[in-house]
């Protein structure tokens, strides 16, 4: 018998086998139904994913820049409505800097954390009025800066240690600061029944799969209060939470 597996979201023990995909086993928590990799990817796997150059990916990003900016300006306005006045903003997993820029346009002092060097280079070239920090969130040294608003879209599912990740985010948030978080929703009614045909299912790159209840419980355990959950017609979760 293997040792009881502890759910990283709710800390319940005894997670059960869920699926084995290409030799990787995923477990499901019997309590909050979080699905997670039995063995989390190592730092080496993460480096391979985020540190290697990816010029093709960036060409695609550039081609879609205008439509992405339009979508993110809407999200920026939604986030800014919940933030207490324009203050300092942090984009966690800033990618090519679109949301970082969209929040700057609304008057925020805008910062992005992004480990992928070509993405940071792109952001610095195209949106130079923001500050970029090329690192993983867990390693981010804000130098005393705190933030009134944080955006973290399609990032937490990549984290092999979601607790360290959310603690790293919360510690740089001002009291009452707001967090806009999105992640795929494995429990969504429109998620393909065949998990392997779902574009959200990407182990080992995606190592944690939330459902809304698991995510809300996880955030509340870390001292967040949910302000708003946005309806998603694709299998994803979008919510805004405040640092309680
Ligand atoms: Zn759980």
pLDDT in tens, 146-198: 999 999 999 999 999 999 999 999 999 999 999 999 999 999 999 999 999 99
pLDDT in tens, 110-156: 999 999 999 999 999 999 999 999 999 999 999 999 999 999 999 99
Buried b (16+ CB within 10 A) or exposed e, 163-181: eebbebbbebbbeebbbbb
7 alpha carbon to ligand 1 midpoint, in Å? 5
Looking from the CA of 227 toward its CB, the CA atoms found within 13 Å total: 16
Question: Strand pairing of 173-184 and 208-209?
Answer: unpaired
pLDDT in tens, 39-78: 998 876 666 666 555 666 778 888 889 999 999 999 999 9
Q: How many CB atoms lie within 10 A of CB 214?
A: 26
Are 120 and 132 within 8 A, CB to CB? yes
In this structure, is the dihedral angle defined by the CA atoms of residues 106, 165, 192 and 32, taken in order, positive or negative?
Answer: negative
4 alpha carbon to ligand 1 midpoint, in Å? 13
191 alpha carbon to ligand 1 midpoint, in Å? 20
Coil/strand/helix, residue 77: helix
pLDDT, residue 1, reads 45
* Helical residues (DSSP H) of 127-233, grouped into ranges: 162-170, 212-221
152 alpha carbon to ligand 1 midpoint, in Å? 21
Domains, the chain: 16-243 (3.40.50.150)
8 alpha carbon to ligand 1 midpoint, in Å? 7
Q: Which residue is associated with the tokens 């240690």? A: 161
Are 158 and 206 within 8 A, CB to CB? yes
């Amino acid at each position: 018998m293997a040792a009881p597996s502890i759910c990283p979201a709710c800390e319940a023990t005894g997670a059960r086998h869920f699926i084995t995909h290409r030799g990787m086993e995923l477990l499901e928590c019997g309590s909050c139904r979080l699905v997670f990799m039995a063995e989390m990817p190592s730092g080496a796997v993460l480096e391979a994913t985020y540190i290697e150059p990816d010029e093709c990916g960036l060409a695609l990003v550039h081609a879609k820049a205008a439509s992405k900016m339009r979508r993110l300006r809407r999200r920026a306005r939604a986030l800014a409505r919940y933030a207490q006045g324009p203050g300092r903003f942090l984009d966690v997993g800033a990618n090519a800097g679109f949301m970082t820029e969209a929040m700057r346009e609304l008057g925020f002092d805008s910062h992005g954390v992004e480990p992928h060097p070509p993405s940071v280079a792109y952001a610095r070239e195209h949106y130079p009025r923001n500050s970029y920090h090329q690192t993983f969130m867990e390693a981010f040294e804000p130098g005393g800066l705190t933030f009134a608003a944080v955006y973290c879209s399609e990032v937490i599912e990549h984290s092999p240690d979601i607790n360290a990740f959310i603690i790293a985010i919360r510690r740089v948030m001002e009291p009452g600061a707001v967090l806009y978080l999105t992640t795929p929703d494995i429990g969504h009614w429109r998620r393909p029944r065949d998990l392997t045909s779902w574009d959200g299912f990407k182990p080992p790159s995606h190592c944690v799969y939330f459902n809304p209840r698991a995510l809300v419980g996880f955030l509340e355990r870390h001292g967040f209060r949910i302000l708003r959950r946005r309806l998603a017609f694709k299998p994803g979760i979008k919510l805004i939470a405040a640092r309680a």
